[in-house]
């Protein structure tokens, strides 16, 4: 007997979930309608999301400084 252990998510350009494989949904205990169109950060811990926000802010500041 073989088992499908693959897990797959597809994200849009804005970071929203477009689709997830059946195995991913089953493993994470979600239904497709619960996660589709949600931001990928729903899978991150709050601390990780804050770090990502800070990194994005630093990148934005660097881009502004470069454009000057």
Q: Would you say residue 53 lies in a domain?
A: yes
- The total of structural domains in the chain comes to 1
Residue 3 pLDDT > 80: no
pTM above 0.85, yes or no: no
Q: Would you say residue 59 lies in a domain?
A: yes
| DSSP labels, 1-45 | --------EEE-TTSBEEEE-HHHHHHHT--HHHHTTSBGGGGS-
Residue 52 belongs to what domain range? 9-67
Sorting pLDDT into bands at 50, 70 and 90, what band is 49? confident
Q: Would you say residue 4 lies in a domain?
A: no
Q: Would you say residue 1 lies in a domain?
A: no
């Amino acid at each position: 007997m073989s088992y499908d252990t693959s897990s797959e998510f597809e994200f849009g350009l804005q970071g929203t979930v477009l689709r997830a494989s059946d195995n991913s949904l089953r493993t994470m205990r979600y239904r497709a309608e619960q996660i589709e169109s949600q931001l990928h950060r729903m899978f991150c811990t709050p601390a990780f999301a804050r770090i990502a926000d800070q990194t994005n802010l630093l990148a934005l500041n660097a881009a502004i400084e470069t454009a000057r």
